[in-house]
Amino acid sequence: MLRISCACFLIIFLTVGLSVYHRKAEADAAQASNHRINSTDGAEMVYISPGTFLMGSDAAELDQIWRKFNWPEDWKQHTKSEQPAHQVRVDGFWMYRRNVTVAQYRKFCAATKRAMPPAPSWGWDDAYPIVNVSWEDAKAYCKWAGGRLPYEAEWEYAARGGNTGLNGSARTVFVWGDDYPRNKVANLADTSFKQAKVYHPNYSIFEQYDDGYTYAAPVGLFLPNGFGLYDMAGNVLQWCEDWYDKEYYGDSPAANPHGASRGELRVLRGGAFDTIPAITRISRRLGNRPDIHHDEKGFRCVQER
């Protein structure tokens, strides 16, 4: 009887063990199919499946957000370009999990005989995001790496991490949720950045929050979003492919919008270590000249296949 019991136990043990092994193998295979490495610069990429989401904002939603956070009413004038909220469908694409780093950009400069941009005040550190790059610099890097800059619709879809805002799906103000953070979720304009008030008396920060960094932080330091993407809020602003047009959402295509056909400014998204909370919202659009460079501006690349 003991021998039979031991045999039964062994069979059960092996069956359970094999089941766990197969489940892990399936999970690993699924993850592998959703991730890949760009052989040119070593960047880890995530596949963002095609889908439809609610892009931008509407006036009633913005009124509610402003009341909740008691932000100055005059800030709302800068939200016209993100209205109206509208459904957008995007095709699938591969996106860098992290912003392009100093180390990766240094490799690009060596390969293309370019000079590194001016170092920021905190100096160059290989693990940090490259900054002080213009839109033109970012575009050249992505082309060298076999990709391109993300279109603005792709960026917002990716930043929402699967929360489409449709059919009962969540639609959050920030990448991490609807409230000011208490845990370390991103590199934001926090309590350590209060010296900014010396230069900007009305400057707003994420009160009662300290992420441990006054300026930029290493890429991928904070938790990723639902798609496994890091730093889709804060750290550095991210250049997008599109021309910036304040009126574009009024007649934007419903599928794969690529921005205005011409303009003077290029789109920036995501907020930075020094941007006020209203700018760090997922829907917020910014534009700047494509030749400008600054220590709060970086980028990531995408590939279509």
Q: Is the pTM of this model over 0.85?
A: yes
User: Is 43 within a domain?
Assistant: no
Q: In terms of domains, do 212 and 259 share one?
A: yes
Residues 197 and 273 placed together within one structural domain of the fold: yes
Instruction: Average the pLDDT over each of 32-41, 51-60, 243-252 and give the range with the smallest value.
Output: 32-41
Strand order, beta sheet including 302-303: 35-37, 44-48, 93-96, 302-303
In this predicted structure, the answer to whether residue 98 has a pLDDT above a threshold of 50 is yes
The token duo for 247 is 């009126």
What is the residue range of 168's domain?
50-303
Within 8 A by CB and 6+ apart from 274, the residues are 189, 193, 196, 215, 296
Q: Are residues 185 and 287 in the same domain?
A: yes
Average pLDDT over residues 271-280: 95
Q: What are phi and psi of 4, to 5 degrees?
A: -65, -40
What whole-number distance in Å separates Cα of residue 29 and Cα of residue 24? Answer: 8
Mean pLDDT of the chain: 90
CA nearest 81: which of 241, 269, 262? Answer: 269
Written as one letter, the residue type at 253 is P
Residue 45 lies in a domain: no
pLDDT tens readout for residues 132-152: 999 999 999 999 999 999 999
Q: Are 299 and 166 within one domain?
A: yes
pLDDT greater than 50 at residue 30: no
Confidence bin at 305 (pLDDT 50/70/90): confident
Q: How many domains does the chain have?
A: 2
Dmax over CA atoms of the chain, in Å, equals 85
CA distances from 167 to 49, 52, 53, 249 (A): 18, 11, 10, 22
**71 domain residue, yes or no:** yes
Segment 186-205, tens digit of pLDDT: 999 998 876 655 556 668 89
CATH number of the CATH domain containing 296: 3.90.1580.10
